[in-house]
Structure 1
Amino acid sequence: MDARLSASLLAGLVLLLHGFTAWAIVEVSMEDRVEVFKGDTAQMTCMFTSDDGIGALTIQWFYVLRTGEKQKIYYQDATMQVVDRATPFTDRIMVNVTAATGEVVLTITDVQLKDQLEFICLVKSLTDGVSEGRTKLLVFERPDFPTIEGVQTGIYVHEEMLSKIGSCEVKNGFPKPNITWYRNNAPLRASDVVKVMPSTTTESSGLFSVRSELSLKVMKEDKDAQFYCEVTYLVPGGTRMTETGRINITVYYPSTAVHVWVESPKGKIKEGDSIMFNCHGNGNTPSSVYVIRHKDNEYALESNMFVLENVTRLQSGHYECISMDMETYEELTGNTTVFVNYLDRAVVMPTVMEVAQGEKLTATCNALSSLQTHTAWFKENRKLSVGHTLMVEGATFDTAGIYRCVVTVPEIDGMETMATLRVNVKGAPEFMNPKHRVMEESVATTVDLSCHVRGFPAPSVIWTTSDGKVLKTTSQTEREDGVHSMVSVEVTSDLTAFCNASNEYGADAASFDIKAKGSGVIIAVIIICILLLAILGSVLYFLYKKGKICGRSGKRDLTKEKSSKDNIVVEMKSDNTEDAVLLGVNGEKLPPSNQ
């Protein structure tokens, strides 16, 4: 019994020692995970310890199928290194073993999404010791930049259902990105008034696209809110975040008050102006209709504006702006008061006045106005006086003419009216130009004579000459300051013309003495011409008698010795006798024998 017990104990000790040695010979450790971007290279390190040398070890790599089964991809012992054929990693893996440090490194190139698997490193010694380690390979892909789109239509605050605000979308990420909605920098969580509906699409590439729609119970305050999305996604070693742009939504909310005011003109209003009314409620629902009411008149507004053109004082009064929401039929009213200032036409009394010379002139001018007025009198653009009454002492012809009464309202530019007064000063004609003029004009020319005479009633003007002849008037114009008359006279000799003016108060005349230049010279020239012709005729007759002119029979020899007397003889013959009288150059009478 003792021998058998001893043998059993020895055998058990051997087995125990053998088992302890097997557990202690090989030990493998690996990282829980290895993270890498899609398309990059992944390295998984398998750390081992063993009392046996590397030649006594067998190293194998496996990956775990989706079903949980293991698939070998690599085998190595003291005599061979084999990469398994027909696996997804056949052409993309490489294994490096460093015995000194106890490292087995599996390298996978061009990592794809399908490579996200669990990998097993198994190390076995010749003494039947075996150990394995596991590492998960995680693959990542950055998503595209996210986009956001808001609703294009307005949202009514009185909607009972939640209203869609917008949608966010991020595409082509791995693993699946997350979308969070924000309103004014505050995250929105699902509740009774907030609804977020995410949806995920797996693309043919295996990447994920995520879309999220936000719906809210919209409030008036949301009209100024900014909405955006935050996208978070995983990368090797951490998490990244990006944001979309901000969007606003159009929120329609009903008015609680209506205001109406005069947009233009600024300040006081006068007749003839155009009044622009602005009517606004503090809401913005497009279903609101605005109407302006004044007395029995109603005017529909477009774009909250209304213009009354060329207003009169009758359009003064109370104006109401009425807003009605066509969906809720709620009616609100605002009001304002308008006063249209007026200035009636100026009235001058009298409008035409006739006064005698030396008399006093008095006229008045008034215009009814809603504001204080200023009145001034003008004549020929020269200010005469200020005030409603015009007074002129001692009227003269210079007093006659057109007077303007101008009434203005100093408080409003351009508010002005005007009326005129015609003043006639009665009296005998009075010449404006000199009453006696002396002129020298050439003979055979035409002279225009004019006279300007004033008086009231307008004088009658007649032109005459000193011998009583009446001249035809060329033109005659009645002007404000008198009568202007003109006549044309042909100069043949000295002449005196008269401008005769008369009315019921008297008569007067102006004279024009015209001296004809050039008549004495012409007579002298005519006499000289007659004498020259007489002398020329005598010389020709003398030559004819002496035979010096061809055609007479008694020709004298041209070579005959010249007479000792060089006196030139002229034959003078009267019209009623045949006798000829010869005169010498000194006027001496010669006897007939010397002819």
Structure 2
Amino acid sequence: MDTRLSVSLLAGLVLLLHGFTAWAVVNVEMEDRVEVLKGETAQMTCMFSSDDGIGALTIQWFYALKTGEKQIIYYQDATVQSVERGTQFTDRIAVNVTAATGEVLLTITDVQLKDQQEFVCLVTSLTDGYSEGRTKLLVFERPDYLSIEGSQTGIYADKDALAKIGFCEVKNGFPKPNIIWYRNNTPLQAIPDVVKVVHSTTTESSGLFSVSSELSLKVMKEDKDAQFYCEVTYLVPGGTKMIETNRINITVYYPSTEVHVWVESPKGKIKEGDSITFNCHGNGNTPSVYAIWHKEVEYELQNNMLILENVTRRHNGRYECILTDMETYDDLSGNATVFVDYLDAAVVLPAEMELDHGEEVTATCNALSSLQTHTAWFKDGGELAVGHTLRLKDANFDTAGTYTCVVTVPEIDGMKKMETLRVNVKGPPEITKTVETHFEESLANKVDLICQVRGFPAPEVVWTTSDGEVLEPKSHMKEMDSVHSVVSVAVTSDLTAFCNASNKYGADALTFNIKAKSNGVIIAVIIICILLLAILGSVLYFLYKKGKICGRSGKQDLTKEKSGKDNIVVEMKGDNTEDAILLGVNGEKLSPSNQ
């Protein structure tokens, strides 16, 4: 405070020096308001103008109390800059003065709700008087919680009393948020006996506001599809923000005036063996009981559905669905008619035939149906004929086999019946000649001989060899008109085997010739080994003659007269002598000098 007294005395001195000089005016300008979010930093600018320099000015910042008085928070003159101690802003403010532009900037960090005050900038000149400006600091906080909860119970339509629809709540906003209810994007306003909205506000210990709102209205049937939600608007620096809750529906009960029953599946025509699913619904949604009646038989429904499995033509007829309203106990009914199409089993006449070669016969196939049918005959996967009648001409073994009659209903997929006809053609055995009958095989190997025979009755098959031995088959498959037999033969020498087939109409045979051959690979290996040994012996002898082995110096006279005969020598040593005896090619002993 001594410093401020000195400044006052100095100001008086300046006034005396100026004498009767006219007073000038100090001018201060500030924004009306500064807006900031809670927890952020606020900046307020005080713009001043004066004929005196900055050294002749005193700058002070205040905030207005509720009593209307001002509380100083900052002081600055030519010699002093100080922050007032003991205020709520002491540790959070900073002031920056730019003399060239006449700007004083007050910065407040970590702004809180209680900082929402009116701030005063006072600039005093030693000669020009003083001027002040005011700025309101407005603090905002976004709400951090928004919820909506709809009615958990069903509501009956067209009741006189208002029913609670939902409850909305928003928490921790500043200033106080605002809640508006919507139905299908249309805002709802209070209407006596039709719409009622009750708001309530809570001030939290933090100073933030929480707002809740409850909607009640007179429910109509049309509200069953309505979407309700809340819109919350709140202020932020520079404008207004809006958020919405999720949409909710309410359960509206209203009585049925009609009942509908229909076949849900299958779509289209129904055939025996299908499962029929009935659906029965009223056009209301009050709690009700449903039942379906057919030929004085009552069926209970599950979730408004009835499933009849594996239906037959006995399920034809009229089905009536009866709805009983559990509030009024009134009955309503609706009906649907069902027809089940059928296809009986196919009947083939005759079911089996035994034909002579060259014979001609006819078979028929029929199946009773409620719809138009299509009949076709198949053998070995191929279609032979279309129609109820099958004619077989000039029968032979190729005629024999199983024929399948397939009866279908073109109008309904999967509606099909099948029956078979077995045809046997009598005759002596016939052995397939296309198999391999001549073999060349190495000794000790095995050969599989195959005999395929057809004939009716199925022939007996016996395997024999040329020397009368009976061979046991490796496999033997016998059918009504054919035999497939396989025998495995070990090759020890040339062999002839016979497949003998016979039935009461005759016999047939097939000859197999097997020629044994030696194992050429082994002989070739032996010959190669002998040749390699001979070559090795020649190399050893050559080295020996050159003195490269057996202690020979190798410095013999190359001009020495050769013997008249080529002397191929072999060194032979006894156990009791160190002398070597060389034998010539004629068995003659060679003296050491001739070695």
Per the shorter chain, which TM-score range?
Answer: 0.5 to 0.7
Tell me which residue corresponds to 2:167. Answer: 167
Q: Is the 8 A contact 1:190 1:196 kept in 2?
A: no
1: CA distance, partners of 2:170 / 2:385: 86
Q: Is the 8 A contact 1:197 1:213 kept in 2?
A: yes
Tell me which residue corresponds to 1:275. Answer: 276
Counterpart mapping for 1:449-468 below 5 A = 450=451, 452-456=453-457, 458-459=458-459
Counterpart mapping for 1:110-129 below 5 A = none
- Shift of the alpha carbon at 1:308? 3.3
- Shift of the alpha carbon at 1:377? 1.0
The 3 A distance-change label for structure 1 pair 472 and 516 is closer
2: CA distance, partners of 1:112 / 1:493: 117
Q: CA offsets per residue over residues 535-594 of structure 1, 9 Å max, x none?
A: xxxxxxxxxxxxxxxxxxxxxxxxxxxxxxxxxxxxxxxxxxxxxxxxxxxxxxxxxxxx
2:148 matched to 1:149?
A: yes
For 1:417, the aligned partner's letter is K
For 1:157, the aligned partner's letter is Y
Tell me which residue corresponds to 1:257. Answer: 258
Tell me which residue corresponds to 2:218. Answer: 217
The 3 A distance-change label for structure 1 pair 73 and 450 is closer
- Normalised TM-score (structure 2): 0.54
SS at match of 1:357: coil
1: CA distance, partners of 2:320 / 2:193: 42
1: CA distance, partners of 2:310 / 2:296: 19
For 2:351, the aligned partner's letter is T
The range that moved more, 267-276 or 168-177, is 168-177
- Shift of the alpha carbon at 1:185? 1.8
Tell me which residue corresponds to 1:58. Answer: none
The 3 A distance-change label for structure 1 pair 273 and 42 is same
Tell me which residue corresponds to 1:196. Answer: 197
Tell me which residue corresponds to 1:390. Answer: 390
Tell me which residue corresponds to 2:426. Answer: 426
The 3 A distance-change label for structure 1 pair 152 and 499 is same
1: CA distance, partners of 2:484 / 2:112: 117
- Shift of the alpha carbon at 1:276? 3.3
How many pairs does the alignment contain?
415
Tell me which residue corresponds to 1:508. Answer: 506
- Shift of the alpha carbon at 1:510? 3.6
2: CA distance, partners of 1:340 / 1:319: 13
For 1:508, the aligned partner's letter is G
SS at match of 1:212: strand
> Structure 1: which 5+ residue stretches go unaligned?
1-33, 44-61, 75-87, 92-108, 118-136, 519-595
The 3 A distance-change label for structure 1 pair 349 and 113 is same
Tell me which residue corresponds to 1:584. Answer: none
For 2:162, the aligned partner's letter is L
SS at match of 1:218: coil
Q: Is the 8 A contact 2:272 2:342 kept in 1?
A: yes
Q: CA offsets per residue over residues 282-306 of structure 1, 9 Å max, x none?
A: 3344x33444444344444444444
Tell which structure's C-alpha radius of gyration is larger. Answer: 1
Tell me which residue corresponds to 2:329. Answer: 329
Tell me which residue corresponds to 2:104. Answer: none
Q: Is the 8 A contact 1:157 1:217 kept in 2?
A: no
Q: Is the 8 A contact 2:349 2:363 kept in 1?
A: yes
2: CA distance, partners of 1:243 / 1:438: 94
SS at match of 2:426: strand
Tell me which residue corresponds to 1:526. Answer: none
- Shift of the alpha carbon at 1:389? 0.7
- Shift of the alpha carbon at 1:405? 0.8
For 1:418, the aligned partner's letter is M
The 3 A distance-change label for structure 1 pair 360 and 220 is same
The 3 A distance-change label for structure 1 pair 302 and 517 is closer
The 3 A distance-change label for structure 1 pair 200 and 401 is closer
Q: Is the 8 A contact 1:395 1:425 kept in 2?
A: yes
The 3 A distance-change label for structure 1 pair 174 and 501 is closer
2: CA distance, partners of 1:450 / 1:36: 110
Q: CA offsets per residue over residues 197-218 of structure 1, 9 Å max, x none?
A: 3334455566665433221121
- Shift of the alpha carbon at 1:494? 9.1
2: CA distance, partners of 1:198 / 1:142: 21
Q: CA offsets per residue over residues 347-396 of structure 1, 9 Å max, x none?
A: 10110122333322111101112221111112222221110011122222
Counterpart mapping for 1:30-49 below 5 A = none
Tell me which residue corresponds to 2:347. Answer: 347
Counterpart mapping for 1:44-443 below 5 A = 144-145=142-143, 147-158=146-157, 160-169=160-169, 179-183=179-183, 184-204=185-205, 209-229=210-230, 242=242, 244-245=244-245, 247-254=247-254, 255-285=256-286, 287-427=287-427, 429-433=428-432
- Shift of the alpha carbon at 1:447? 9.2
2: CA distance, partners of 1:111 / 1:402: 98
2: CA distance, partners of 1:397 / 1:253: 78
Identity %: 53
Tell me which residue corresponds to 1:102. Answer: none
Q: Is the 8 A contact 1:188 1:194 kept in 2?
A: yes
Counterpart mapping for 1:497-536 below 5 A = 499=500, 501-503=502-504, 507-510=505-508
The 3 A distance-change label for structure 1 pair 364 and 152 is same
Q: CA offsets per residue over residues 265-285 of structure 1, 9 Å max, x none?
A: 333222333333333333344
1: CA distance, partners of 2:449 / 2:154: 92
Q: CA offsets per residue over residues 111-163 of structure 1, 9 Å max, x none?
A: 9889999xxxxxxxxxxxxxxxxxxx999765754845232414322455321
SS at match of 1:223: helix
SS at match of 1:256: coil
For 1:404, the aligned partner's letter is T
- Shift of the alpha carbon at 1:418? 0.9
The 3 A distance-change label for structure 1 pair 173 and 497 is closer
- Shift of the alpha carbon at 1:488? 8.5
Tell me which residue corresponds to 1:524. Answer: none
Q: Is the 8 A contact 1:453 1:501 kept in 2?
A: no
Counterpart mapping for 1:490-569 below 5 A = 499=500, 501-503=502-504, 507-510=505-508
The 3 A distance-change label for structure 1 pair 138 and 212 is farther
For 2:430, the aligned partner's letter is F
2: CA distance, partners of 1:191 / 1:399: 95
- Normalised TM-score (structure 1): 0.54
Q: CA offsets per residue over residues 32-77 of structure 1, 9 Å max, x none?
A: xx9998999999xxxxxxxxxxxxxxxxxx9997xxxx99999xxx
2: CA distance, partners of 1:246 / 1:348: 70
SS at match of 1:221: helix
Q: Is the 8 A contact 1:348 1:421 kept in 2?
A: yes
SS at match of 1:377: strand
Q: Is the 8 A contact 1:466 1:498 kept in 2?
A: no
The 3 A distance-change label for structure 1 pair 240 and 317 is same
> Structure 2: which 5+ residue stretches go unaligned?
1-31, 46-63, 73-86, 91-107, 119-134, 517-595
For 1:185, the aligned partner's letter is T
The range that moved more, 418-427 or 157-166, is 157-166
2: CA distance, partners of 1:496 / 1:190: 112
2: CA distance, partners of 1:178 / 1:495: 111
1: CA distance, partners of 2:497 / 2:231: 115
Q: Is the 8 A contact 1:171 1:208 kept in 2?
A: yes
Tell me which residue corresponds to 1:16. Answer: none
The 3 A distance-change label for structure 1 pair 361 and 276 is same
1: CA distance, partners of 2:137 / 2:500: 126
For 2:411, the aligned partner's letter is E
1: CA distance, partners of 2:501 / 2:380: 29
